[in-house]
Amino acid sequence: MPVYPVPATTDEPQLDVAADLLALLRATTTEPRPDPQLAALTLAVAADLPVLLWGEPGIGKTAALTQLADSLDLPLTTVIASVHEPSDFAGLPVVGDDPANQGVPMAPPDWAVRLVRAGRGLLFLDELSTAPPAVQAALLRVVLERRIGALSLPPGVRIVAAANPRSSAADGWELSPPLANRFVHLQWTHDHEVVVRGLAGTWPRCVLPRLDRHRLVPAVGFARRAVCGLLAARPGLVHRLPTTEARRGGAWPSPRSWEMTVRLVAFATAADTSREVLSLLVRGAVGDGPGLELLASLDRMDLPDPETLLADPGAATLPERGDLRQAVLDGVVEAVRRRPERTRWEAAWTVLAGALESGPPDLVVVPARTLAALRRDDWDVPASVDRLAGVVALSRRAAEVAAGADR
């Protein structure tokens, strides 16, 4: 234990000294640091979508929201949902001089009035999973319509909530399906390195995504094509209410959550967000299964058009990922099969030869065999086939050896 010189005795109150020590402990700094869950949270906040952070007690949900409000310079209003009555969110009836003619207005709570007066802020609904069903029902208008009593929250107010899993919540309740379907659900976990560095005084910095103004219109078109294309092919995903109570309290697909997904994909596209962050957001809106299907369809939308590759095979740029590269090569061969012409067949061989030079050779084997089977008798074999012949022959020998070993 370090030894410090003993200062001269003073009459300074010890609580004042304790306050100075507490101030030193609270003094922290922030730094830019890649953090997918923090990036997902800030993008959803930028998109003005209600977010629900799920995590075990003590994981840092409240601290993350406090730091988010400080970083964005937004006044933080914390409301513990479980200690309020339904009337605190629906409004308290105030009887006037002539209720028969004027009606009975619903007066909002003081925290809602402060938010409206400020015109901006971060409304933090904490301990949501300990709120009883009646309170959850009163929160429906707050989360979706942004209304509290007779007041409407201004556009500058963002809504974020936090909840503990029912197994670790004090007198916890499952979220009602209508309330759960109004949130983007993010699983909040701790990162060992972030915690250690934060306890040393430096935490990650919350930064809003940088949206490229020139990409706004294309981003909206891309998001709508992606979601509508998936739902046109998979109509069963439009609305799928889970069968178990626990899963109904999380993310699941509905027209409302798909509308949120369109917004999330558009914002992520305009900000050039990483696929990891987009995955957290999409799955947090419509659930893991539908979300993964959408991500797979997004991958296919990014693939080059086979007809473009056949028109200029020498300039073909193929994806680096093996599954996407295989899909492109298969698409090129399928395009030739649908419209078999000698020039298109020769162009496809040029594309395959380029793929052999820039990526794993095994990905070329199956498309090359299929393309060779499409040859007409009067088509000469192009010179580019020579570079592929060795790979196909080697693959055939390897397959024969493997078949022999299995006998």
Q: Quote the pLDDT of residue 156.
A: 92
**How confident is the model at residue 62, as a pLDDT?**
83
Q: Is 282 among the domain residues?
A: yes
Q: Note the pLDDT of residue 51.
A: 96
Q: For residue 57, what pLDDT is reported?
A: 83
Query: Is residue 361 a contact partner of residue 387, using CB atoms and an 8 Å limit?
Result: no
In a domain, 358, yes or no: yes
Q: Please report the pLDDT score of residue 118 as a whole number.
A: 92
Q: Is residue 7 part of a domain?
A: no
DSSP state at residue 107: E
Of 144, 179, 204, at which residue does a domain stop? Answer: 204
Residue 262 has what pLDDT? 97
Residue 248 is encoded by which pair of tokens? 């109904």
Residue 48: left if φ>0, alpha if ψ -120 to 50, beta else—which one?
left
- Same domain as 190, residue 80: yes
For residues 334 and 225, state if they share a domain. Answer: no
Alpha helices in 152-254 (DSSP H): 177-180, 192-199, 216-233, 245-248
221 and 198 fall within a common domain: no
CA atoms within 13 A on the CB side of 94: 11
Let me know whether 293 and 265 are in one domain. yes
What does the alpha-carbon distance between residue 50 and residue 260 come to, in Å, rounded to a whole number? 10
Six token digits for residue 214: 């020139």
Kind of pairing between the strands at 51-54 and 184-187: parallel
Looking at the structure, tell me whether residues 283 and 332 fall in a common domain. no
**Count of domains for the chain:** 3
How far apart are the C-alpha atoms of 54 and 42, rounded to whole Å?
A: 16
Kindly report the CA angle at 123 between 121 and 128, in degrees rounded to 5? 170
Looking at the structure, do residues 197 and 226 belong to the same domain, yes or no? no
151-152/147-148 β-pairing? antiparallel
**Which of 204, 233, 262 is where one domain is finished?**
204
> pLDDT value at position 395?
45
- Domain of residue 283 covers 213-301
175 shares a domain with 72: yes
Mean of per-residue pLDDT scores for the chain: 85
Judge if 40 and 146 occupy the same domain.
Answer: yes
C-alpha–C-alpha distance, residues 2 and 132, integer Å: 51
pLDDT reported for residue 402: 43
Which parts of the chain sit beneath pLDDT 50? 394-395, 397-403, 405
The single-letter code of the amino acid at 399 is A
Same domain, 193 and 221: no
Task: Write the CATH number for 179.
Answer: 3.40.50.300
130 close to 82: Cβ distance less than 8 angstroms: yes
- Give the end of a domain, one of 180, 204, 228: 204
Give me the amino acid identity at 156: G
In the three-class reduction of DSSP (H, G, I as helix; E, B as strand; rest coil), residue 362 is classed as helix
Contact 74, 158 (CB under 8 A): yes
Same domain, 282 and 156: no
Q: How much is the pLDDT for 208? A: 84
Both 368 and 399 in one domain: the answer is: yes
| pLDDT at residue 125, rounded to an integer | 93
Tell whether 348 and 382 lie within a shared domain.
Answer: yes
Contacts of 70 (CB under 8 A, 6+ apart): none
- Please report, to the nearest 10 degrees, the dihedral formed by the alpha carbons of residues 347, 352, 358, 361 taken in order: -170
